[in-house]
Amino acid sequence: MVLANDNIFLPHLAEITAIQPETGDTSTFALRMCDPEVRRGFIWKPGQFVEVSVFGSGEAPFGFASSWCEGEDFKITVRSTGEMTRALHNLSVGDQVGVRGPFGNGFSLEDAAGRNILIVGGGIGLPPLRPLLMEALAGKEKFGKITVLYGARTPADLVYKPELEQWKTRSDMEFLVTVDVAENNWKGNVGVVGSLFPKIEIDPTKTAAYVCGPPIMIRFVVLDLVKLGLEEEWIITTLERHMRCGAGKCNHCLIGDKYVCLDGPVFNCQQIKGLLEPA
Ligand SMILES: Cc1cc2nc3c(=O)[nH]c(=O)nc-3n(C[C@H](O)[C@H](O)[C@H](O)COP(=O)(O)OP(=O)(O)OC[C@H]3O[C@@H](n4cnc5c(N)ncnc54)[C@H](O)[C@@H]3O)c2cc1C
Query: What is the Å distance from ligand 1's center to 92 Cα?
Result: 21
Range of the domain at 230: 111-247
Name the helix (H) or strand (E) containing 178.
strand 174-179
Asked whether the beta carbons of 76 and 50 are under 8 A apart, the reply is yes
Query: What is the Å distance from ligand 1's center to 48 Cα?
Result: 15
Over residues 172-200, the pLDDT tens digits come to 999 999 999 998 789 999 999 999 999 99
Q: Which CATH number covers residue 50? A: 2.40.30.10
Nearest-angstrom CA–CA distance, 223 and 133: 23
Residue 236 lies in a domain: yes
CA 76, 67, 6, 258 torsion: positive or negative? positive
Asked whether the beta carbons of 161 and 188 are under 8 A apart, the reply is no
pLDDT for position 276: 64
* Residue 275 predicted with pLDDT over 70: no
Whether residue 27 sits in one domain with residue 126: no
DSSP secondary structure of 193-230: GGGGGGGS---GGGEEEEEES-HHHHHHHHHHHHHTT-
* Residue 48 predicted with pLDDT over 70: yes
Whether residue 136 sits in one domain with residue 30: no
Q: For 250-266, what is the mean pLDDT?
A: 80
Whether residue 117 sits in one domain with residue 219: yes
Residue 226 lies in a domain: yes
Q: For 203-211, what is the mean pLDDT?
A: 96
Q: pTM higher than 0.85, yes or no?
A: yes
| H and E: helices and strands count for the chain | 5, 15
- Hey, how many other C-beta atoms are within 10 angstroms of the C-beta on 205? 11
Percent of the chain with pLDDT over 90: 76
Residue 216 lies in a domain: yes
| Helix (H/G/I), strand (E/B), else coil: 91 | coil
Whether residue 239 sits in one domain with residue 141: yes
Q: For 79-92, what is the mean pLDDT?
A: 97
CA 153 vs. chain centroid, Å, equals 17
How many independent structural domains does the chain possess? 2
Place 2 in a pLDDT band, splitting at 50, 70 and 90: very low
First to last CA, the chain: 47
Whether residue 193 sits in one domain with residue 66: no
Place 1 in a pLDDT band, splitting at 50, 70 and 90: very low
Per DSSP, helices labelled H in 72-125 are 83-89
Q: Give the type of residue at 80.
A: S
Whether residue 204 sits in one domain with residue 98: no
Asked whether the beta carbons of 256 and 197 are under 8 A apart, the reply is no
The average confidence (pLDDT) of the chain is 92
Query: Residue 79 forms beta bridges with which residues?
Result: 26
pLDDT for position 105: 92
Place 252 in a pLDDT band, splitting at 50, 70 and 90: confident
Binding-site residues, ligand 1, Cβ < 6 A: 49, 58, 60-63, 76-79, 81-85, 124, 127-128, 240-243, 265
pLDDT for position 7: 81
* Residue 208 predicted with pLDDT over 80: yes
Query: What is the Å distance from ligand 1's center to 79 Cα?
Result: 8
Whether residue 144 sits in one domain with residue 39: no
pLDDT for position 156: 94
Q: Which residue has the higher pLDDT, 258 or 220?
A: 220
Whether residue 233 sits in one domain with residue 123: yes
Place 247 in a pLDDT band, splitting at 50, 70 and 90: confident
Nearest-angstrom CA–CA distance, 109 and 1: 26
Whether residue 168 sits in one domain with residue 235: yes
Over residues 65-80, the pLDDT tens digits come to 999 889 889 999 999 9
Going by alpha carbons, the residue nearest to atom 41 of ligand 1 is 242
Query: What is the Å distance from ligand 1's center to 82 Cα?
Result: 8
**Site to substitute for ligand 1 among 66, 90, 240, 262, most atoms within 8 A of C-beta:** 240
Q: Which CATH number covers residue 228? A: 3.40.50.80
Lowest mean pLDDT among 24-38, 142-156, 258-272: 258-272
HEC assignment per residue over 10-78: CCEEEEEEEEEEEECCEEEEEEEECCHHHHHHCCCCCCCEEEEEECCCEEEEEECCCCHHHCCCEEEEE
Over residues 89-147, the pLDDT tens digits come to 999 999 999 999 999 999 989 999 999 999 999 999 999 999 999 999 999 999 999 99
Which ligand 1 atom is the nearest neighbour of the CA of 61? 17
Whether residue 116 sits in one domain with residue 39: no
Whether residue 199 sits in one domain with residue 119: yes
